[in-house]
Amino acid sequence: MVFTSGLLDNGAGAVARALRHALPATMIAGSEGLLPVARLFDLAGRAASGVLIATSIQPAAGGAHPYTVLAARATGVTLAAIARSDGTRESVARAIRADPRFDDRGNLRRGPVTILRADRPGGSRTNMSLAGGRVVAIVRP
């Protein structure tokens, strides 16, 4: 397996294409810098087929963009923190950090990782779109 951590905007599609040409039997994997899947196919062509992508983005039901789901979850966390606070910005921040799902900086602890296989060209070219990929696994550390 070869893991590439590049970005599509910085030539990762060309790297995937070159790897597939040089090492046709080798699995190619990468980070979410290879998203959206449609752009990976645009830039790597057929070489994108089968590339595995590890991302913190989880697929959304009904074809919604994953950011819609994340925004809804963030809103829920924020409203719950406001309800537990005294209304000041500092106490809202403390309430979020007190939630065991978050670390002392407010970042999600041990969030799930989606492993996606690039299956087909086409679909959305919207930033971070999973369209054109198939979920292989969701790993929960």
Per-residue pLDDT, 62: 67
Domain ranges of the chain: 2-58+112-139, 66-98
Check: CB of residue 84 under 8 Å from CB of residue 95. yes
Classify domain 2-58+112-139 at the CATH topology level.
Answer: Rossmann fold (3.40.50)
pLDDT band at 128 (very low <50, low <70, confident <90, very high): confident
Q: Which residues pair with 54 in a beta bridge?
A: 115
Range with the poorest average pLDDT among 2-6, 96-100, 130-134, 136-140: 96-100
The letter for the amino acid at 102 is: F
Q: 111 or 84, which is more confident? A: 84
Mark residue 128 as left, alpha or beta (left: phi above 0; alpha: psi -120 to 50; beta: remaining).
Answer: left
Q: How many residues does the chain have?
A: 141
pLDDT in tens, 27-81: 999 999 999 999 999 999 999 999 999 998 877 766 667 677 778 888 888 899 9
- Average pLDDT, integer, range 130-134: 90
3-state secondary structure 58-87: CCCHHHCCHHHHHHHHHHHHHHHHHHHCCC
- Average pLDDT, integer, range 105-124: 85
